[in-house]
Amino acid sequence: MDTLLLDAGNLFLFLSGFLMLYTAYRDRKVLKGYNLPGTILIVLAIGLALAYYAQQGYWLSFALTLPNYTYWLIVCTSILRRRLSPTPAPEA
C-alpha cells in the first residue's frame, strides 16, 4: 500500500511509453527532433530509477517503467546512428 502513488504514476508512464513507441513506429521522423545530451540524461535517469526499483523490490514499478525506458533507448540509438553514419558527399 505504501507504493500506491508510485505504482499509479508508473502506470501513466507505462501507457505513455506504449503510445510513444506506437508513434515512433508509425512515423520515424519524430525521432529527429531530440537533442543528444538531453536524451542521454533521460536514459541515465530512467536507468537509475529502474536500478532503485529493483533494489527496493518495487517490481511492479520496474515493469511499468520498461516501455518508457525502451522508447528513450530507441531515441538515443537513432540519434547516435544518425550522428555516426558517414554523410554522403554533396553533389557538384
* Alpha-carbon distance values, 30 to 22, 23, 51, 71 (Å): 11, 8, 28, 12
- pLDDT computed for residue 47 by the predictor: 96
What are the structural domain ranges in the chain? Answer: 9-83
Distance CA 32, CA 30 (A): 5
Mean pLDDT per block of 10 residues along the chain (92 residues) reads 83 86 80 85 94 94 92 90 76 58
Q: Taking the model in full, what pTM does it have? A: 0.78
Buried b (16+ CB within 10 A) or exposed e, 45-69: ebeebbeebeeeebeebbebbebbb
What residue has cell string 499509479?
Answer: 8
